[in-house]
Amino acid sequence: MILLIFGPPGSGKGTQITELAEKFELTPIPSPGDLFRKINDDEIKKYTSTGKLVPDELVAKLIFGEIGDKDNFILDGYPRNLNQAETLENFLKEKNKRLDYVVYLKVSEEEIVARISNRRVCSKCGRNYNLITNPPIDNKCGCGGELTLREDDKEDVIRTRLTVFNEQTQPLLEFYKDRLITVDGEQNIQNVFENICKELEK
Ligand code: AMP
């Protein structure tokens, strides 16, 4: 099975991927955002620090390298515009594969802004916390690392990321309408997971 988990920044994609990957035995393909944060390249940072999309060719090369010849995997953060979606369709078609389902975590804009401004990331291991729903102990990560606010989680950058999502990413819902599973992403983590599973197991 090939899955894409889809939703605005902060909709809980990362959390669901871990569980889905385990239950359905899918390899989680790292999201471009995570890969970019690891690469830590100044040229790429010009885009990521302002919330704009990195050029399509660069992202495709990176993600297709990660997919390789895998058969069962779950994508996160790619594709993020129509051109990327078409490029992915062609890449998979050449390998006689197809993206089976797109799971859309629907979350309102007010909820997104609230979640992201309370998000903190461990500077050492990359684990995410939420100051309200999943607070760290003594303001430190379980691994002992310092918690920081992601540069692009600051309010003005969040606004740009949401605009990019609404203008460039949201149209993919129409593109994938024949394989779309829409789930209310504002429920608790377990209910979101159960709703996704119910739809996938139909
Ligand atoms: P994320 O961690 O998914 O919010 O991504 C962080 C940043 O990485 C985004 O704001 C973009 O600048 C860049 N990025 C992530 N995914 C893509 C993509 N599919 N295409 C282009 N840029 C991306």
**pLDDT, tens digit, for every residue of 111-161?**
999 999 999 999 999 888 999 888 999 999 999 999 999 888 998 899 899
Residue 170: Cβ-neighbour burial (10 angstroms; 0-12, 13-18, 19+)? middle
Distance between Cα 55 and ligand 1 center (Å): 10
What is the predicted pLDDT for the residue at 202? 87
- Ligand 1 pocket list (CB less than 6 A): 9, 31-33, 36, 47-48, 51-54, 59, 77-78, 80, 84, 152, 161
d(CA 145, CA 143): 6
Select from 17, 36, 57, 163 the residue to mutate for testing ligand 1; criterion: most ligand atoms less than 8 Å from CB: 36
- Tokens describing residue 181: 């599973």
pLDDT at 5: 98
Q: For strand 147-148 and strand 119-122, is the pairing parallel, antiparallel, or unpaired?
A: antiparallel
Burial of 31 (0-12, 13-18, 19+ CB in 10 A): buried
Q: Any idea which architecture 2-109+156-200 has in CATH?
A: 3-Layer(aba) Sandwich (3.40)
